[in-house]
Amino acid sequence: MSLSNPSQVLLRNSELLVAKTPLFINLPEDGFIDAYLELYKPNSINCFNNNFIDYQAIINKHRQTATQNVQAIFSSTYQTKIYHDLVIITFPKSKAELNFTLAMIAHCIDVTTKILLVGEKKGGIQSAPKLTKDLLSCCQKADAARHCLLFAGLFQPEKLSIVFNLQDWFKKYKITVEGIELTIASLPGVFSQKKLDTGTALLLGNLPEKMSGKVLDFGCGAGVISCFIGKKFTAINLSLLDVSALALTSAQESLALNGLLGQVFPSNSLSDVNEQYQYVVSNPPFHQGVKTHYQASEEFLAGINKKLSKRGNITIVANSFLRYQPIMQAHIGDTRVITKEQGFTIYQAQLSSK
């Protein structure tokens, strides 16, 4: 795999990378880890990822190469007893996630720990100094190349003593749909963190009239869909999956706040789905551009027929310009357009045969 542009920019700045116990946060598996091991020979590398796909890639690569000093962690928060002398952070897609990430590492660094922020310009990394002014000192641009920026800084000494409390970072809001009141909890970086989004609201108003048995919420986000279904239909067994650890933790909190239970688990599309469901509901994620997103959705819709029980039903909401209906028709069965509103379309399909 070829090095990404941000990784190439990092390797241009060798004087900033020397460390014995570095922590890499949300770096992809693109060859940078191997290059770092060869060049700097650290005692250990801890790789923290809150994206399950990136985590799996690191695990699979370094299991194959039997790299003993690379530790991969998938979680919404990072806890360790190791002191890190270098932290490299991929600038997040959600700017709100950056200070959350910095706050959670305060317990394992000191005033001499180098904090590097790297990312593509189009991702908004230019705002890094402004965003981090309350936590970092000397956050300055270290390099600019390949349409990327690299910032380097140090933690403000007085901020290192602040205890990280996950509960402080949840945004909680109340919604009422069809007379059902829900409380939703969402961490930074989770889709629709502060309010019910238009697509999901449309989906909730167009679910099957009756639902029972096993229900899968694919790409659950903060758990809005599952919480509504759990409150409206009593004879159901909820399963919620997402690729994001931040989303999964948010969904678990939302379920608890509404007195509901559900199986919450990570999955790369359908990679870790091992059961069959009577109903699947989804507002498929749409975060990586039209082409990438459409391919990921096609994979999900092409494979979901194997995860539906006899006469199983799937209901999804999507941006109207995305051509989901032919894919669902080909792989699942008769697919209806339930409604089109505000730029979104609700599709519903029933498995033809089993």
170-350 fold: Rossmann fold (3.40.50)
Q: Give the residue among 242, 321, 224, 325 at the shortest CA–CA distance from 50.
A: 242
pLDDT score of 354 more than 70: no
The whole-angstrom separation of Cα 293 and Cα 309 is 26
Report pLDDT for 334.
Answer: 93
Alpha-carbon separation of residue 276 from 213, 279, 305, 328 (angstroms): 10, 9, 9, 17
User: Which token pair is 68?
Assistant: 């003993």
* Whole-number pLDDT of residue 289: 39
Domains in the chain: boundaries: 5-164, 170-350
Stronger pLDDT, 319 or 279, i.e. the higher one = 279
Domains 5-164 and 170-350 share a fold: yes
Query: Which pLDDT tens digit goes with each residue over 204-236?
Result: 999 999 999 999 999 999 999 999 999 999 899
- Which CATH code for domain 5-164? 3.40.50.150
Q: Give one DSSP letter per residue of 31-66, joined into a string.
A: SHHHHHHHHH--S-EEEEESBHHHHHHHHHHHHHTT
